[in-house]
Structure 1
Amino acid sequence: MNPLPVRFGALCLGLVLLAAGCGGDGDAASPAGQTLRYVAVGAPATAIHDPHGGIGNQSDLTRFALLYDVLAKPGPNGVTEPRLATSFEPDEKLTTWTIRLRQGVTFTDGRPVRAADALFSLRRIHAKAAENFGRLQMFDMDAARVVGDHTLELVTTRPYAEVPRALESMTFVIPEGTTAFDKPVVGSGPYRMVGGNAQNAVLERNDRWWGAKPPTRRIEIRAVPDPQARAQAVISGQADVASSVNPATVRQVSGDRNLKIVHRPAVTMYPFVMRLDREPFDDPRVREAIKLAADRRELVDKVFLGYGKVGNDLLTPADPSSPADVPQRTRDLARAKELLRQAGHGDGLELKLATTTSYPGMDTAATLFARQLGQAGITVRVTNEPPDTYWTKVFAQRDFYTGFFGGIPFIDVARVSLLGDAPTNETAWKRPDWDAAHWKAMAIRDEAERRRALGTLQRELRDEGGYVVWGVGDGLDLTSAQVSGLPDGPGFDSAFIERVRLGG
């Protein structure tokens, strides 16, 4: 995400759209018909209408999840929850998958949703891999085909047992042949867009939707990059939901009967990222020393204010495949200094650590970590980079910087950041043996056995990789007391807000 600095002073005018005004719309007196005003993380200047490329704004993702159907979404405990798709059936080799879709589904313009529309959308996502981190790179889309009005066949480039989870990702379905994306595209989701723009959208309930009728007639979504501005919008009554607010704000408003906090447990990480192909991080002794110098409890207490838990350098601790029997890494300054001496840095080491303010506490984490490293003989200069360019000029480019992960599954992290040919291999983790073991695991049909194999890969990454995962923070959303039904799952699940209601 690429948030931009904003002032709160003009927020009311932009937040409440069209006829609504800052006092709400004429339908607001009826609890069942109230307008839900939702402020989400997002930079207005980068808001988009294309659901298939790179989606950098949470505001865009949330809007797309309301406008378009997806094949599946994340469910509890790592289980895939079908949406537009009703079944995923593999062949014996786990390379050809038959996917059946719901019947009787229509786009908002009345056209039926067909397998051809789904395949068109998947092929377009695949073609835009350079923008969306290779979201569907495991598929051979030239070999995919439609086998019926509501059935399609997908072929993977090699055995891949996790196809349902791969299709939980942003598989937004649009009509076959769509070419214009300068305005909202027709969808078949629970809402349709009736006004505003990509930065400040007005959506109304789609009464043709196949699912349970959403309880709220209208939802307005506003892209607001500053977490304090988002929170203040709810506190002042100008919005009903603010996503991803500061822990400090949560602490300040606790006890206010007019407000509620929705916790999404252990979904936010700000790992410190080291590139293995650049000095001094190409030396495993330096990487281990930096991990050992981290006071993880202090970081969690001061960055997340206790709304989280200590990390153990595992990138996806909530994933079902994450190993649970790994000893907790604790601070050991003596060992860290000895490792630095062995690596030729006994007289000290100087580093530059980049950070930003895109998410609450990223800058605090970097400043605190720099002080902790100083106690091990490592001098760190922290540079606070502009949030609007951080994810294009710092992420996956600098030697040492503050990263972000938001609760995505391990197989997605591997695809995006770990495999040798991953589109954003930010740590230069390129190990052919690790890649081979990953693909071998993905060919295991038995789920429990496959998870154990993936867990072994995560142990190796923890011990030898370039991530310092010092803690995992809760996602914190602020709402008015009248809001209920806000999702509290990690990652993509948090975008599905069609069950949110006002007035109990």
Structure 2
Amino acid sequence: MNTPRRHVAAAASALLLLGAGCANTADSSADVPALRYAAVGAPAATATDPHGRVGNESDYTRFAMLYDVLTYPDENGGIQPRLAVSWDSEDLTTWAVTLRDDAVFSDGTPVTAEDVLFSLRRIQGKGAENNGRLSMFDLDASATTGEHTLDLVTKGPYAEFASAVASLTFVVPEGSDDFTGDPVPGSGPFTDTGEGDDTTAVLTRNDAWWGSTPGVERLEILAMPDAQTRAEAVASGQADAAGSISPATASRYEEQDGFTVLRRPGAVNYPLVMDTRTEPFDDPDVRRAVKLALDRDQLVQTVFLGFGEPGTDVLSPNEPTSPDAAPVRRDLAEAERLLEESGRADGIELTLTTTNSYPGMEEAATLAAEQLGEAGIDVTVEVHPPDTYWTEVWNVEPFYLNSLGGSGFVDFARMALLSEGPINETGWTDADFDADFQEALATADDARRGELLGALQSTVADEGGYVVWGLGDGLDLIAEGVRGMPTGPGFNRIFIENATVGG
């Protein structure tokens, strides 16, 4: 008897294999092997509901393969149609959306606008669990206008509509509410066999999917919380690919025959999070002192082993709208002066919490603590287990490491930087920032909107509670014969339907 399969993928964050286009014809399916992917995920933290709390990468990947989404990010960070084929608005508030008319659920039922609106309302209704994923919408005022058309209304002008409905808008049949029993039909590239458990999801190719034929007939997603274990699964032949391996492991396998290390530049971001509502981080001088006390070059070389670059405290530096920020040079004398000016000439004692959910997080905290100590900031590092870190530490403790990389700046700002943001982990409250953000979203001109968003990123970098000390490459270990891995930023990594094995 199989236990109900539940999986969960981290908020933030991200690594999987997507295929670019190696589609196989349906009549050759018998010759297509299975793809076994070792993904970041703690079996004890699994989830069955695609609309609720999801904390494992393995779960996000499973949901993306079972359920269609409206739009998705491509390998360059742009937004592409998926279930939605077009969207248009004259006032940036009421969006006329047209859906594919050839999408069907795995039970043969056509996907309609009613299914989409039901799913979006259900996602919004679970906002306390999913960080207010669709809080920008007025879904009571939204309505279907035809079998495959609907008007989606935002609470105010929202020029970034396509991004708002990307990646995680998993569409289920209208009325679906129980995801703990038999698999709920989806319209994605794979279907659930029902054979899996909390450790392994077992999916089979959905030949009725509207898209190009998936690259493998069978997909197994293995939830593994430890990076070394994931890599060893590939090395031993138990898996074909592993997401988020450590830089040390990448260095070891980079020159070995039979393996490929896939690099996704700038995909790894482990910022120090300072709660600006909590002493001493309520003092801007203290926050500035922490930023100046870090040796970012040393952190990148030690933690990422050169697979990355120093950060400038800009949260999303790889986006087209990001500002061209100058490097943040270490300045211990200025850090000490700022502490003295804040009345803390005798130093500060802090606890920095971290985990080993993703490779390098523990090492980053340890080295950062040593560097801060040289400026008179005495830091004790506490390592929390991965199974509970994202429920007991993240958005709870005043000083910890997060793992970002899944959301673009607009979506992240809406969740974590607006005064009323649902996961405002740094307690960032700035009425001018809020107003400027709304102005940007109400700006139809792409270039002007980009300027406004870039200025907002600069403000957070200079004054906010995030220390983006470095950006590392996302590193995946791929066995010989596997093709079509994702190379794009953010949630591009979870759309793996075109990955192939052999051939």
Q: Would the TM-score normalized by the shorter structure come out above 0.5?
A: yes
- 2:147 corresponds to which residue? 149
**Secondary structure in 2 aligned to 1:473?**
strand
Distance 2:55 2:214 in 1: 26
Kindly indicate whether the alpha-carbon contact (under 8 Å) linking 1:321 and 1:410 is maintained by their aligned counterparts in 2: no
- 2:57 corresponds to which residue? 58
**Secondary structure in 1 aligned to 2:334?**
helix
**Secondary structure in 1 aligned to 2:439?**
helix
- 1:9 corresponds to which residue? none
- 1:391 corresponds to which residue? 390
**Secondary structure in 2 aligned to 1:78?**
coil
Q: CA RMSD in A?
A: 1.6
Structure of greater relative contact order (alpha carbons < 8 Å, 6+ residues apart) = 2
Give runs of aligned pairs for residues 481-496 of structure 1, distance below 5 A.
Answer: 481-496=480-495
- 2:214 corresponds to which residue? 214
- 2:138 corresponds to which residue? 140
Give runs of aligned pairs for residues 209-358 of structure 1, distance below 5 A.
Answer: 209-324=209-324, 326-358=325-357
Distance 1:159 1:468 in 2: 31
- 1:112 corresponds to which residue? 110
**Secondary structure in 2 aligned to 1:415?**
helix
Cα distance, 1:2 vs structure 2: 8.0
Deviations 1:12-56 (A, max 9, x none): xxxxxxxxxxxxxxxxx9994111111111111222221111211
TM-score norm. by structure 2 comes to: 0.93
**Secondary structure in 1 aligned to 2:145?**
strand
Distance 1:285 1:31 in 2: 64
The letter of the residue matching 2:174 is E
Cα distance, 1:394 vs structure 2: 1.1
- 1:48 corresponds to which residue? 47
Give runs of aligned pairs for residues 147-186 of structure 1, distance below 5 A.
Answer: 147-183=145-181, 184-186=183-185
Distance 2:63 2:316 in 1: 25
**Secondary structure in 2 aligned to 1:196?**
coil
The letter of the residue matching 2:343 is G
The letter of the residue matching 1:153 is D
**Secondary structure in 2 aligned to 1:130?**
helix
Distance 1:32 1:203 in 2: 17
- 1:11 corresponds to which residue? none
Cα distance, 1:199 vs structure 2: 3.2
Distance 1:375 1:202 in 2: 51
Kindly indicate whether the alpha-carbon contact (under 8 Å) linking 2:75 and 2:492 is maintained by their aligned counterparts in 1: no
Kindly indicate whether the alpha-carbon contact (under 8 Å) linking 2:349 and 2:379 is maintained by their aligned counterparts in 1: yes
- 1:360 corresponds to which residue? 359
Cα distance, 1:198 vs structure 2: 4.8
- Structure 2 unaligned regions, length at least 5: 1-6, 11-27
Kindly indicate whether the alpha-carbon contact (under 8 Å) linking 2:8 and 2:55 is maintained by their aligned counterparts in 1: yes
Kindly indicate whether the alpha-carbon contact (under 8 Å) linking 1:264 and 1:474 is maintained by their aligned counterparts in 2: yes
The letter of the residue matching 2:304 is F
The letter of the residue matching 1:390 is Y
Distance 1:407 1:295 in 2: 26
Distance 1:275 1:125 in 2: 28
Deviations 1:140-159 (A, max 9, x none): 01001000000011001011
Cα distance, 1:249 vs structure 2: 0.7
Distance 2:501 2:281 in 1: 51
Distance 2:76 2:454 in 1: 16
Q: Which range moved further: 291-300 or 406-415? A: 406-415
Q: In the superposition, relative to structure 1, how do residues 358 and 2 fare at CA in structure 2: closer, same or farther (>3 Å)?
A: farther
Distance 1:75 1:443 in 2: 25
User: What percentage of residue pairs aligned between the two structures are identical?
Assistant: 53
- 1:16 corresponds to which residue? none
The letter of the residue matching 2:410 is I
- 1:129 corresponds to which residue? 127
The letter of the residue matching 2:371 is Q
Distance 1:149 1:179 in 2: 22
- 1:101 corresponds to which residue? 99
Distance 1:487 1:296 in 2: 28
Give runs of aligned pairs for residues 449-464 of structure 1, distance below 5 A.
Answer: 449-464=448-463
The letter of the residue matching 2:92 is L
Distance 2:323 2:180 in 1: 45
Distance 2:110 2:246 in 1: 43
The letter of the residue matching 1:310 is P
Deviations 1:46-82 (A, max 9, x none): 2222111121111111111111111110124432110
Distance 1:441 1:480 in 2: 44
Report the number of matched residues. 478
Deviations 1:277-315 (A, max 9, x none): 111111111111110011001000010111111100011
Kindly indicate whether the alpha-carbon contact (under 8 Å) linking 1:2 and 1:390 is maintained by their aligned counterparts in 2: no
- 1:26 corresponds to which residue? none
Kindly indicate whether the alpha-carbon contact (under 8 Å) linking 2:75 and 2:487 is maintained by their aligned counterparts in 1: no
**Secondary structure in 1 aligned to 2:492?**
helix
